[in-house]
Structure 1
Amino acid sequence: MVFLKSVPLQYSSRAIVKLLDKNLISKDYVEYQFIQQSQIPTLHFQSALPRLPIPELKLTCDRYLAAQRPLLIDESYRKTEANVQRFKEGVGKQLQKILKDYDNKNKDTSYISELWFDKYLKSRSSLPINCNPVLVLNNDDKPEYSTQLIRTTNLIISSLRFYRTLTSELLHPDIYHLNPKKSDTEKLRYLVSKLPPKLAYVCSYFYKSFPLDMSQYPNLFQSTRVPETDKDRLLQSPESRHITVQYKGHFYSFEVLTTNNDIVPASQIMENLKFILNDNIETNKFPIGVFTTLDRNKWATIRHNLAENGNETQLKIIDSALFNVCLDDNDVGNDPYDVTRQFLHGDGSNRWFDKSFSLIVAKDGVSAVNFEHAWGDGVAVLRYTQDIYNDAKDKPRIHPDTKLTEGTSPNVQRLDIQLDDHLKNCVQQAKTEYKTICDNLDVNYTIFEGIGKDTCKKNKVSPDAIMQLAFQVAYHKLNGTFVPTYESCSTAAFKHGRTEAIRPCTNATKAFTLAINSVNQPSVPQLKKMIQECSTIHNQLIKEAAMGQGFDRHLFALKSMGEKNGIKSNMFDDPEYAHMSYDVLSTSTLNSPAIFAGAFGPVVPDGFGMGYAIKDEFLGTLVTNYQDRTNGPDFIGALKKSFEEIFAILQAN
């Protein structure tokens, strides 16, 4: 049976069943178009989500001082404490009222949402390394499906199935289950789908399952960041039906959706990709993708010149694509060092870092997702990445023996870019500048095997707390100091929540670090007790951050309100406030069976970017840093030593 009639863009699982019963669509059609069919509509809970709370001013000030205490000498701390006290009793109250008024006038969102968008969009730093993270997919366990053509085709189809499912509200809502056996059941899903949003949320909450914000998901597709002087803008093109593909530094485009927004046949997508891979055109000597590696103001000026030089239509095609695909012309293997360098930054010639995300596939089929960060956070990208990885692996539409449909022919447009001598010179300069930055970046990693999540649980300590403690111990071993440390925490439990900062350097971690790194160590039982205290405090910080009770975003919002209203404060002028945000150790973890590695660059010149994974039987950390300022191999060596010492204490009788 074939598809007989145009189907509305948004419809439920029940509507699909009715269409099937009436023979208006076939099971094969439904199976090809949608990655899943959730009983609960994707945005069912969205209107009922609680709003992100504005913490009490006193609690925020207390938490801020607690985070500053291990970083400052007594004299500096007393000065900071005095500034905070004046702030709390004076200007802080005024700014808190302004922030609450602002929040009350924008009840359809969160107090941090617009401010956080502005923070990213106003940043003038180049996107690769500084902003764009990367998630590297695990390889397919069937080598015959890992050729560049087959894997790319299957990942594109899975991406389109995800898109169709999302826009049809058939993607299962993100829900955090405390006890999945009781709450993640077909019976409860059916009940919740029948209830209006507020009652559905209450019912879900009663079963200790917590729906999460999904407002960022639409920005995954048909979205890009456009450079403009002083502040960029996010552009969405909801009518687009094409993708762009980069190969050898050239851009290609072809449609992947019909006029009814159905996914075109898999063989047609494969034929188009095969045409691109077989294009015998020479590698582009002047690839415009490298412009997206520039400082945003510089890129904004060049982009204007690019459009004026006859490329406005080509830029619109790139901007409006559903997503971007990068077909690289080299193998990367499975070495985390090579994989990270290739997918985190590359040489910039076969990338468009402005796109919401780019699906990158190397010649040997190794794949990754590099994403722009202004539009959203890792939660949405991780869900997308996991779903397409599993779908492409478990339900591939293209197989090694797939034959092209008889009579089909490629329908691919190569985007010819017009460059004058000035623009060609800009390309060369951008390539040179970017190479200098990338050559200075170092990448190192360690996998501590035999000990992991299970060992931590047996010793009743948080695995995340142990990882963060090891980072503190390692840094102190090398430098003898304590520095601002950032750990990202999602606040997606709230409407339009973004992230909150966990500050893992505490008085407890400082005390343990000084003890274990001293010549005269305390006894093992004492050290073990100190580790447990570190874990308890860290768990409390995680809980506070996830519940919107951290201090970083609140203070950032208060400072923003002051700037908007011309209100100054000694506290925000205090160098120690700026120092708190100078994240020498920037850390984040996204654990998933689909992910081989996650990476991002250091956020300050003398810092470390640390993506880490906590598995049952091993711990992994991938570290980036700039070689002219810090020593990555030495830090990795100190980190290994720290793991050994901490786990020796935990496992001692």
Structure 2
Amino acid sequence: MFRTRVHRNLSWISTNSSRTTTTHGQHYQYLQCSKLPTLYFQRSLPRLPIPLLENSCRRFLEATKPLLSPAEQAQTQQTVEQFRQGIGMELHAKLKSHDAENKHTSYISQPWFDMYLADRAPLPLNYNPLLVMKSDARPEYQQQVVRATNLIISSLRFWRSLQADLLEPEVYHMNAKKSDTSSYRRWMKVAPKAFATYASYAFKAFPLDMSQYNRLFGTSRIPRIGKDELVQSPDAKHILVMRRGHMYAVNVLDSSGYIESPSVILGRLRAVLKLDADREAASVPLGVLTSGQRDEWAKTRQHFVSNTKNADLLEREVDAALFCVCLDGEEDGVFNENQQEPLLKHLLAGKAQNRWFDKSISLLISADGTTAINFEHSWGDGVAVLRYFNELYKDTLKQPFVSTETVHTPAEGDFSNVRPINFEIDDATKSAVSEAYNKNASIVDNLDMNVLKYPHINKPTCKQYGLSPDSIIQLSFQLAYRQAYSGYVGSYESCSTSAFRHGRTETMRPCTNATRDFCEAILQPERSKPSAGELRAMIDNCSKVHGQLTKEAAMGQGFDRHLFALRHTAQKEGIPIPDLYETEAYKRINNNIISTSTLGSDALLAGSFGPVVKNGFGIGYSIQNDFAGAIVTTYKNQADGKVFIDSLESAFDKICAVIQQSSSSKK
């Protein structure tokens, strides 16, 4: 019924190229019209706490124990104690003093921005992550240019809602049925703004920081020698569309800032395809430059913009674009459920000819309509991107504005609204593009990707047996590595601290004494192996420790960011780096061989990122209603992803057997 009604309305809108009141209406222009202003809770968010120095030292020692020999532990303990009683106290006092003078932000915010922007490593694989969206099962909405149009419209509806303060505030509801209600919003509306966050806590609803949201659109990372910068053009009216390496500026907002009608946006995208069909693929695909080492790209850009025409086009049409849409061709691959790796690898990094990795957000749309987001990471974290990703998916499913039946408004020849970006390219730039292409191709060719879908562990199974899904997955990673490589290594799980003003992330260290004890126990010969009941008790202890560490991290009580900020303070003050940072323990725990990240979302088909160290494993994972999944990236001849995946499947089997046996023995 709903879909029929939408089609009737859309056929009317799309056959009328002139401006109508329908497209100016709130229903079309805004994704949400929240009763609470978007930034309602921002002022009252608590500040990110700086942990006590003794607590950070204690947590560091505890986290490094599984990685060290007894002799190394003793040496580390001595060095940490000297740090705690000496230079650590001085640095901690300076950090506290600086934090007290900057109450508008958090102690980690600026150092974290600096860390990202100063790193000279290429963005693809090292920083830019990938989120792949589930497809639309309805063929009339999955076709590439149709899906692109609907995604663009939904993106703009999200953006306009955010700008107008009409996007729902980001709130984590412990029990959505009780708190994500109109009654909750009425109570919040009358709560004094200065205390609104604390009033929300009474409903077990936790407002999250939204300071990163304004950089979702119109933001670009500009390469500079030594340290990049972020530039923003929030009033732009166009997007950047890429096709076979060619670049087009496409207006999607009118002169008053209203979203153009669906038929107009569809017509402009089709005009891009028509223009592109009449050309050869770009012989010098400039987007490849954004895949390069940052100082090399900065030098190339400096030369490139010495041409005033290039400088104007790059700044006005590319850097200022609201976001980037990359329309890939058949030659770039389509999604295959039974062989996902080629397309996922292409979307994560690929040949870089049809990408502009410096944009805050890029929508990648394959020839079959498979859609992914590849985002530049310095400006923000998963919370803001995942909110956008989820809203985009829901909106395009619930009310797509065009279909394959929509009559578009022709835009061929309308070069004021569909502008091919034609730069003047000299031999130096051609050479730089060729060099960047070869370097990126070498890195990407060296990347391996392995996928595992394990059906016997899933959300219902975990609920049935009273297990923490995340803890079970992380324990499986530790067991998989121990089985395959006979040891324990630095392991990383990202945890958001967005419950605090300008919070970013904290590291949760999933390799613990509890996980080590379980791994050693379950790998004992049968005659000396503990019983299923005893092993299940150890699993429960792993979950308890994991849960406590996760809670501490989310509450800003981890140790990684605190120690990072103390070292940053020493560098800023010209103080020699303390011995703690030269210990084997510090080096080993920060050599993140196992780097993991999960995003819980019903919209997510897959998520991936590159290894953070050359001999490491980049593990994007999720636990769904019917399986647990992991996508593991490695570099060839550095680490073997296939060996790890096979060991992970074996680890899942072992843990499942323990759970089932222990449950059977209780009956």
- Short-chain TM bin: over 0.9
Matches within 5 A, 1:170-569: 170-279=166-275, 280-309=278-307, 310-316=309-315, 317-330=317-330, 331-335=333-337, 336-405=340-409, 410=414, 411-519=417-525, 520-568=528-576, 569=578
2:372 alignment partner, SS class: strand
1:425 alignment partner, SS class: helix
Percentage of identical aligned residues = 46
Number of the residue aligned with 2:8 = none
Superposition deviation, residue 218 in structure 1: 0.4
- Note if contact 1:133-1:371 (Cα within 8 Å) is conserved in structure 2: yes
- Note if contact 2:598-2:621 (Cα within 8 Å) is conserved in structure 1: yes
What RMSD in Å do the two structures reach over aligned CA positions?
Answer: 1.5
Counterpart pick for 1:600 among 601, 609, 614: 609
Superposition deviation, residue 25 in structure 1: 7.1
Q: Partners of 1:169 and 1:352 in 2: how far apart? A: 29
Write the deviation string for residues 393-433 of structure 1: whole angstroms up to 9, x where unpaired.
21111122111247996431101121111211111111111
- Note if contact 1:247-1:350 (Cα within 8 Å) is conserved in structure 2: yes
- Note if contact 2:491-2:593 (Cα within 8 Å) is conserved in structure 1: yes
Q: Partners of 2:644 and 2:411 in 1: how far apart? A: 59
Q: Partners of 1:87 and 1:464 in 2: how far apart? A: 34
In structure 1, the gaps of 5 or more residues are 1-23
Query: Structure 1 292/27 Cα, relative in aligned 2: closer, same or farther at 3 Å?
Result: closer
Q: Partners of 1:269 and 1:350 in 2: how far apart? A: 21
Write the deviation string for residues 432-465 of structure 1: whole angstroms up to 9, x where unpaired.
1111100110010101103312222333221101
1:486 alignment partner, SS class: strand
2:305 alignment partner, SS class: helix
- Note if contact 2:267-2:410 (Cα within 8 Å) is conserved in structure 1: no
Number of the residue aligned with 1:46 = 42
Superposition deviation, residue 539 in structure 1: 0.3
- Note if contact 1:224-1:320 (Cα within 8 Å) is conserved in structure 2: yes
Query: Structure 1 108/524 Cα, relative in aligned 2: closer, same or farther at 3 Å?
Result: same
- Note if contact 1:252-1:414 (Cα within 8 Å) is conserved in structure 2: yes
Greater mean alpha carbon deviation, residues 81-90 or residues 443-452:
443-452
Is it true that 1:579 corresponds to 2:588 in the alignment? yes
- Note if contact 1:489-1:542 (Cα within 8 Å) is conserved in structure 2: yes
Superposition deviation, residue 315 in structure 1: 1.0
- Note if contact 1:332-1:342 (Cα within 8 Å) is conserved in structure 2: no
Write the deviation string for residues 539-558 of structure 1: whole angstroms up to 9, x where unpaired.
00000000000000000001
Q: Partners of 1:109 and 1:206 in 2: how far apart? A: 25
Write the deviation string for residues 2-47 of structure 1: whole angstroms up to 9, x where unpaired.
xxxxxxxxxxxxxxxxxxxxxx976971111011111111000000
- Note if contact 1:41-1:193 (Cα within 8 Å) is conserved in structure 2: no
Number of the residue aligned with 1:82 = 78
1:533 alignment partner, SS class: helix
2:342 alignment partner, SS class: helix
Superposition deviation, residue 579 in structure 1: 2.2
AA matched with 1:313: D
Superposition deviation, residue 202 in structure 1: 2.3
- Note if contact 2:141-2:403 (Cα within 8 Å) is conserved in structure 1: yes
In structure 2, the gaps of 5 or more residues are 1-19
- Note if contact 1:177-1:210 (Cα within 8 Å) is conserved in structure 2: yes
Q: Partners of 1:56 and 1:581 in 2: how far apart? A: 21
1:278 alignment partner, SS class: helix
Write the deviation string for residues 145-193 of structure 1: whole angstroms up to 9, x where unpaired.
1111100000000000000001011110111111222211111112212
Write the deviation string for residues 457-505 of structure 1: whole angstroms up to 9, x where unpaired.
3332211011000000001111101000000000000000000000000
Query: Structure 1 466/570 Cα, relative in aligned 2: closer, same or farther at 3 Å?
Result: same
Greater mean alpha carbon deviation, residues 442-451 or residues 24-33:
24-33
Greater mean alpha carbon deviation, residues 95-104 or residues 400-409:
400-409
AA matched with 2:310: N
Is it true that 1:638 corresponds to 2:647 in the alignment? yes
AA matched with 2:354: N
2:136 alignment partner, SS class: coil
Greater mean alpha carbon deviation, residues 539-548 or residues 509-518:
509-518
Superposition deviation, residue 332 in structure 1: 1.3
